[in-house]
Amino acid sequence: MGPFGRTIVCWDPIKISDRRIAVLTHPSSNIYQCLQACPCGVLILDQAGKINWLNPALEAMLALKSDQLVGQSRERFPFTTHRGLFKSSGLMHLFGPGVEQERWLLCTVDEQNQLDPSIHTIKYFQDVTEQVQLSDENQRLKKQVEELAITDELTGLANRQALTRALNAQVARSRRYQNPLSLAVISLVDKKNDEQLPNEVILAISRYLRDRLRWVDLIARWDHNQFITILPETTLQDCSELMDKVLAEFTDLSWPDQFEPGNLGLQFGLAEWHKGQDARLLMKQAFASLNEGETGANPS
């Protein structure tokens, strides 16, 4: 079974390498006939690094004829888009001027240092263009799905994309009607432990925050242990009072079994929208406030 789950027809390169080129490429040779019919590209380099022979499958992959390549070396190779033929094993990307069809070739190298110098290196090429293109397409579709998703996978809260859209809409509304709008960044921190908090703890704090905010507020998970809340029709003073209530009840939070809260605490960054600000500036202001703030409510 070859790369990408494909079945590859293989042969023993030693059996190829113990013959001279003249014998290997003779039409009556069984090895020659096998290489000629093989769907895998084969390239043979001599001890000086010059191309000695290639099979029809590789000619088709490269869109070049054998007489254009035989005798060529890396130093004076005229086809700049095909210089990957002389590189080590791995993916070779054929593209650029003069290339009829973009291709990806997977190269495997077998060096025969102690045998016939005319067969110093044998390279095998598989056309994996379709697999590479499918992989790229899968990554593109995965990114699209992630961009379309509006909820955080772990907590069920809004995710970054949903928060950004909602904040832009709320800023536009405040700009139009001059309504108050506040933003709160909430971080769960452990002052004595830099390790990432367990998912069970993140779930517990996300439920706690969601249950203590108003129905009109939108809370989103911004980072692993960081949340952002949009508070429409809320001044900075009202936002601060609401966060004080959240902080006051934090010590009563029930933590998952087998978890010691230790030095956990909440840290807040608050900001209020002002005329002339966009969503980006409001976020920047809230994070600046977070970095200047103190951590409170360390449960015992």
Domains and CATH numbers, the chain: 3-134 (3.30.450.20), 150-292 (3.30.70.270)
pLDDT of residue 67: 93
Average pLDDT over residues 19-30: 59
Q: Which two tokens stand for residue 271?
A: 């900001």
Average pLDDT over residues 104-128: 83
Q: Is residue 286 very low, low, confident or very high in pLDDT (cuts 50, 70, 90)?
A: very high
Average predicted confidence (pLDDT) for the chain: 84
Q: Does pLDDT of 192 surpass 90?
A: no
Q: Does pLDDT of 10 surpass 70?
A: no
Tell me what percent of the residues of the chain surpass a pLDDT of 70.
Answer: 83
Q: Is residue 113 very low, low, confident or very high in pLDDT (cuts 50, 70, 90)?
A: low
Pairwise CA distance, residues 2 & 98, whole Å: 30
Q: Is residue 179 very low, low, confident or very high in pLDDT (cuts 50, 70, 90)?
A: very high
- pLDDT tens digit string along 43-80? 999 888 899 999 999 999 999 999 999 999 999 899 88
20 vs 65, more confident: 65
293 vs 277, more confident: 277
Q: Does pLDDT of 298 surpass 50?
A: no
Q: Which two tokens stand for residue 48?
A: 């000086």
pLDDT of residue 24: 60
Average pLDDT over residues 164-181: 96
Radius of gyration of the chain (CA): 32
Average pLDDT over residues 109-138: 85
- pLDDT tens digit string along 75-104? 989 988 898 899 888 999 988 776 778 899
Average pLDDT over residues 262-282: 92
pLDDT of residue 90: 92
b/e per residue 277-288 (b: at least 16 CB within 10 A): bebeebbebbbe
For residue 123, count other CB atoms closer than 10 A to its CB: 24
For residues 190 and 264, is the Cβ–Cβ distance under 8 A?
A: yes
Q: Does pLDDT of 216 surpass 80?
A: yes
pLDDT of residue 265: 87
Write phi, then psi, for 42 (nearest 5 degrees): -130, 130
| 8-state DSSP, 253 | P
For residues 5 and 128, is the Cβ–Cβ distance under 8 A?
A: no
CA-based nearest residue to 127, from 53, 46, 42 = 42
146 vs 151, more confident: 151
